[in-house]
Homo-oligomer: A and B are copies of this chain.
Amino acid sequence: MTDSNPPAAPRRTTRADQRRQTESRILAAARELFADLGYDRTTIRAVAARAGVDAGLVMHYFHSKDELFAQAAKLADDDLPVAGSSPAEVADGLLASLARRLDAEPVASLAVLRSILTHAEAAEGFRAAGRQRVDQISVAIPASDAELRAGLISAIISGVVAERYLLRTSLLAQASPEEIIDLLRPCFQALVGPLSPTES
């Protein structure tokens, strides 16, 4: 009965560990709810309930709903590899990046995507990421209207991702990433390449 190793295995969940664990549980719950409901309809009480804690604790760790959203929706920059080369390569890089997102879009970016249209902060974060993407793309496009073309590509990507994950109206939600990419390839090539008007 009397086990003889008091502090050997039971080294469990120190206080700092507990804190980190709870914090990440709150963040996960927040991400899911923000992604499902958007900023406004997600309440701190609901986040706390899903994480199994009290609402006051959420306020204690993150200091406001805005800060909670900022933490939950923080996303790693999509390092799309547009190492400027031939337009065809640029298009392929963009398509590969899109394919990755179509395969498994991170919940955090779905949270900002869901909140873009109604929450100013989410819109600003999206704009920053979008501007960066547009800049990266447009320097790789040899055309005078490169920036407009890049903006169109960005809009297409957002539209497709939003439709697939958020609206889920059409078959876009069930199709495989490869099918979608294959259909989109000529689009991206036309937008990237300067071969659109006449090939002269």
Binding site for B on A (CB under 8 A): 37-38, 40-41, 113-118, 123, 126-127, 130-131, 134, 145, 147-152, 154-160, 162-164, 166-167, 169-172, 175, 179-180, 183-184, 186-187, 190-191, 196
Contact = CB atoms under 8 A, between A and B. Distances in A.
Contacts of A150: 170
Contact of A127 (B40, B160, B167, B190): B167
The 5 A-B pairs of least Cβ separation, nearest first, read A159-B159, A151-B170, A186-B190, A155-B163, A187-B187
27 contacts: A38-B40, A38-B117, A38-B118, A40-B41, A41-B118, A114-B117, A117-B118, A117-B167, A148-B170, A149-B183, A150-B170, A151-B171, A151-B172, A152-B172, A152-B180, A152-B184, A154-B163, A154-B170, A155-B164, A156-B156, A156-B187, A158-B159, A158-B163, A159-B159, A159-B162, A183-B196, A190-B190
Nearest to A196: B186
A162 B184 CA distance: 19
B118 A40 contact: yes
Contacts of A170: 130-131, 134, 147-148, 150-151, 154-155
A148 B172 contact: yes
Nearest to A37: B118
Given A152-B160, A152-B172, A183-B190, 4 more contacts: A114-B118, A152-B180, A156-B160, A187-B187
Contacts of A184: 152
A179 B145 contact: yes
Contacts of A151: 163, 169-172
